[in-house]
Amino acid sequence: MKILNFLLLLPFLSLSCKAADDNAKPVDPKPVEEVKYDTTGVLFKSYKGLVMAGYQGWFTAEGDGAGRGWHHYQKGGKFEPGSSSIDFWPDVTDYPKTYNTAFKYANGETAKVYSPYDEESVDLHFKWMKEHDIDGVYMQRFVSEVKGESGKKHFNKVLANALKASKKYGRAISIMYDLSGSVSADMDFIVKDWEELQKLFALFDNKQNPTYLRHNGRPLVAIWGVGFNDGRKYTVSDIQKLVEKIKGPTKKASILLGVPYYWRTFGNDTENSPLLHTVIKNVDVVMPWAVGRYNSSSYTSVAGTHLPGDIAWCKTNNIDYAPLVFPGFSWGNLKNDKSLYNQIPRGKGEFLWKQIAGAKMSGAEALYVAMFDEVDEGTAIFKTKKEGETPLNGDGKFVGIEADLPADYYLWLTGQGAKWFHGATGYGAQKPDRAQ
Amino acid sequence: MKTLKLHLFFLLLLLTGCSIDNYPAPDAQLFGTILDAETNEPVEQDIIRGSAIEYIEHGYESQTKQLMIFKNDGSYRNNLVFSNTYSIAPVRGNFVPVTPQDVQVNGATQLDFKVQPYIRVKDVKIEKVGTKVVASFKLQQTVINNVRKIGLYAHPEPTVGEPMRTALAEQEINAASDPNKTYQIELDQAANSNVLKTGSQYFFRVGAIIDAPESKFNYAKAVRLAL
């Protein structure tokens, strides 16, 4: 009986060490003629050398005509003291069109907000970008929002406003599809929506939209949210197909992929799928999501070797790289947790500048700033109210920018970074002094 | 009887176990140098506690990591490698981390690694001044991290380095280095007379280490001096 047991074990002792079978080599696709664009008059022929921000544009106000209530301001259907999803309050002093809210300042004055559904407000944002030398924005297009009629109407209106303003102020503009909340079946929707946008706005028309961002000779479109291991209901393989469809056989567009911070090493936030690298090698620019991955004190130890490692990888694989920088992070109201106010402090711009300088000194050639107008997560660089001057918010509060800074300080500081990336001298690890 | 059967079985097992397998012996050689991607110069290393080369042979479930080391001059060689495909990367080193590459090793296979050294130790001058050995040099760091410390190391063998020295002089820096500054370190022979004997020759090497996880010293070439 014991012998039988041993005999049963024998097969395990003779496990084969044979190498895996060679994979069949893929057949090269037939070469097709690539589309050629007339780039006469096109203002931004490459993302290289540019500092661009993300533009959420998702806010609406009661009465702005979008019919979406207090979208992205409200929480639980209400936008009133104690019930709001924003941590920073937009400073609407310069806006021609504003909306009264249920919030009041300590002096009893009604607090107001803006809506990007209004052309005037978006115009003002682009005016600020020009004033401060910020090159432009990626217009966020949330798949989960634009799938519905009301969302589509809103984001198309904001995009129309932005295209007009970008032309007026000579700022770069590009579309970024945010895939958060998407499912595999949405890939076809994105392809269809993207085709629709090109027709509706004549996006690639060099005369009508000379400010639409080009890269590697083609209009650039961004796809954000690829390779995250946070349980998304679409796969890297879905994105691979999406990239192929968007490019098409004639290579119609260049593509920027928004990926997790640890995309290169498959660590922490990244799905362990080698296919991710295959997909990345097939696009034009990679932009890793750095928000929340470090703070001011951990920045150098995290990014110090990570950033140049990313850049070296991208050089080897002949793709471009745009690191993300953000001024700080705060989502106490969104998460209903007061301990999350100022979760990643701004330090009067020290944190933002550390990242700008770190990126530049590590060899980065372009920047993505998260974000222009994101007040829910408190990463906005546009004008917001200062500490001590924010509206009252029940037993909670609104986080303001540092009281001794001017309202446009983060626009200015981002602009200083842009000047450095444009080739201006005199910048270094030390945050520039505005008085100079 | 049962015991005898069992013994016979073991004997059989032993005999089959000892028979020569039908796999080829290691028939390939893998060698190369770790090079600075910008200057194409070898990146100096330590033979102990230095950067390593990690490689995984393809075709096995276990994905066992094997290790090789570099020589001081940044070269490496393994003359007993099985011909196969390997995922190979230099790791835990004095350079910006790189991702493994898949390499077909067959016959004499040369594989050089191109890396970005954390620090380039440049314009090195090591000379004897009175009873001191004085090293002056410049530092060019390629990452934003602080330089942790710099050092001058001495040993009778050319394999001198921070882990392999009989005498040393170090300076804590803990700041970003200034590319225009000339750094100077003095090693006092008198204070080290038991290990640095007059009339003998020693090897001296300047090193600097960056403040990054698992980083190793960057060096200039060792210099021989008679004291």
pLDDT at A7 over 70: no
Residue B2 belongs to some domain of the structure: no
Query: Residue A228: its pLDDT value, please?
Result: 96
**Which runs of consecutive H residues, i.e. helices, occur in A389-428?**
409-422
Does B161 lie in the same domain as B71?
no
pLDDT band at A8 (very low <50, low <70, confident <90, very high): very low
**Residue B4, in any domain of the structure:** no
**Binning pLDDT at 50, 70 and 90, where does residue B2 land?**
low
Per-residue pLDDT tens digits for A115-160: 999 999 999 999 999 999 999 999 999 999 999 999 999 999 999 9
Q: Among B46, B81, B115, identify where a domain stops.
A: B115
Q: For residues A53 and A37, give the distance between their C-alpha atoms in angstroms, rounded to a whole number.
A: 26
Report DSSP state, residue B64. -
Q: Are residues B146 and B212 in the same domain?
A: yes
Q: How many domains does chain B have?
A: 2
Q: Which residue has the higher pLDDT, A88 or A32?
A: A88
Q: How far apart are CA A54 and CA A138, in angstroms?
A: 5
Quick one: B37 and B128 in the same domain? no
Task: Tell whether A60 is covered by a domain.
Answer: yes
Instruction: Judge whether A15 lies within some domain.
Output: no
Residues B137 and B208 in one domain: yes
Residue A1, pLDDT score: 43
B214 and B124 in a common domain: yes
The answer to the question of residue A79 being in a domain is yes
Inside any domain, residue A271? yes
Tell whether the model's pLDDT for residue B16 goes beyond 70.
no
Token digits of residue B159: 């394999």
Strands B84-91, B52-57: pairing kind: antiparallel
pLDDT tens-digit series, residues A267-301: 899 999 999 999 999 999 999 999 999 999 999 99
User: Is A435 near chain B, with CB under 8 Å?
Assistant: no
Domain hosting B99: range is: 28-115
Q: Is residue B17 part of a domain?
A: no
Summarize pLDDT for A338-355 with one digit per residue, the tens.
999 999 999 999 999 999
- What residue type is B84 in one-letter code? N
Q: Are residues B51 and B131 in the same domain?
A: no
pLDDT at B50 over 60: yes
pLDDT in tens, B74-123: 999 999 999 999 999 999 999 999 999 999 999 999 999 999 999 999 99
Report the CATH number at residue B85: 2.60.40.1120
Contact B118, B212 (CB under 8 A): yes
Q: Residue B201: which CATH number? A: 2.60.40.2060
* Average pLDDT of span A367-381: 98
**Coil vs helix vs strand at A80:** strand
B180 and B167 in a single domain? The answer is yes
Contacts of B98 in chain A (CB under 8 A): 309, 312-313
In this prediction, residue A15 carries a pLDDT of: 39
Q: How many angstroms away from the CA of A261 is the closest CA of chain B?
A: 15
Q: Which residue in this structure is represented by tokens 């664009």? A: A37
Other C-beta atoms lying within 10 Å of the C-beta of residue A396: 17
Residue A13 lies in a domain: no
At A416, list the tokens. 């200083």
- Average pLDDT of chain A to the nearest whole number: 93
Residue A27 pLDDT more than 80?
no
pLDDT, mean over chain B: 92
Whether A13 has a pLDDT exceeding 60, the answer reads: no
Sequence-distant (6+) residues with CB within 8 A of A5 are: none
Last residue of a domain, one of B63, B94, B115: B115
What's the total number of domains in chain A?
A: 1
Does B205 map to a domain?
yes
- My answer on whether B188 and B202 are in the same domain is yes
Q: Is residue B8 in a domain?
A: no
pLDDT band at B19 (very low <50, low <70, confident <90, very high): low
Query: What's at B32, amino acid-wise?
Result: G
B99 vs A contacts (CB less than 8 Å): 264-265, 313
Is B220 a member of any domain? Answer: yes
Q: Would the pLDDT of A24 be above 70?
A: no
Q: Is the pLDDT of residue B7 over 90?
A: no
Neighbouring CB atoms inside 10 A of A22's CB total: 7
To the nearest 10 degrees (0 to 180), the angle between helices A119-132 and A149-169 is 40
Beta-bridge partners for B171: B150
- For A91, the token pair is 């400073």
- The tokens for A178 are 């945010």
For residues B219 and B125, membership in a common domain is answered with: yes
- Asked if residue A33 is part of any domain, the answer here is no
> Which chain A positions have a beta carbon within 8 Å of B116's beta carbon?
308, 312
Q: Residue B48 pLDDT more than 90?
A: yes
CB A263 within 8 A of CB A280: yes
CATH number of the domain residue A258 falls in:
3.20.20.80
Contact B161, B72 (CB under 8 A): yes
Q: Is the pLDDT assigned to residue A57 strictly greater than 70?
A: yes
pLDDT, mean of residues B9-32: 73
Range of the structural domain that residue A116 is part of: 51-422
Output the CA angle B211-B55-A303, nearest 5 degrees.
Answer: 25
- Bridge partners, B120 (sequence order): B140
Residue B5 in any domain: the answer is no
Determine the 3-state secondary structure of B179 from DSSP.
coil
pLDDT at B24 (0 to 100): 76
**What stretch of H or E contains A302?**
helix A299-316
* Gap between the Cα atoms of B139 and B208, Å rounded: 8
**A428 in a domain, yes or no?**
no
Q: Are both B33 and B81 inside the same structural domain? A: yes
Q: Tokens 């007040």 belong to which residue?
A: A375
CB A381 within 8 A of CB A372: yes
In a domain, A18, yes or no: no
Domain boundary among B96, B115, B134: B115
The pLDDT-based confidence of A19 (bands split at 50, 70, 90) is: very low
Cα angle at A238 between A303 and A153, to 5 degrees?
90
Dump pLDDT digits (tens) for B133-167: 999 999 999 999 999 999 999 999 999 999 999 99
Q: What pLDDT does residue A9 have?
A: 45
Determine if the pTM surpasses 0.90. no
Dist. CA A281–CA A220, nearest whole Å? 16
For range A41-56, the mean pLDDT: 98
Per-residue pLDDT, averaged over A352-368, amounts to 96
pLDDT of residue A20: 41
The answer to whether A305 contacts B9, with C-beta atoms less than 8 Å apart, is: no
Chain B nearest CA to A55, separation (Å): 29
Average pLDDT over residues A303-308: 94
The answer to whether A420 and A366 are in contact (CB under 8 A) is no
Same domain, B172 and B126: yes
Enter the ipTM.
0.78
The terminus-to-terminus CA distance of chain A in angstroms comes to: 91
**Per-residue pLDDT, A325:** 98
Task: Say what the pLDDT of residue B10 is.
Answer: 66
Chain B contact set for A309 (CB, 8 A)? 96-98
Output the pLDDT for position A6.
46
Residue to test with chain A: of B4, B34, B96, most A Cβ within 10 A: B96
Alpha-carbon gap, residue A343 to A333, rounded angstroms: 12
Across the interface, of B85, B98, B176, the residue whose CB is closest to A429 is B176
Cβ-based contacts of A266 with chain B (< 8 Å) = none
Four-CA torsion A248, A249, A251, A255, nearest 10 degrees: 40
Buried b (16+ CB within 10 A) or exposed e, B39-64: eeebbbbbeeebbbbbbbbeeeeeee
Q: Which of B6, B58, B215 sits opposite A20 (nearest CB)?
A: B58
| Residue carrying the six token digits 């080698």 | A274
User: Model confidence at B43, in pLDDT bands (50, 70, 90)?
Assistant: very high
Examine residue B125 and state whether it is found in any structural domain, yes or no: yes
B150 and B130, same structural domain? yes
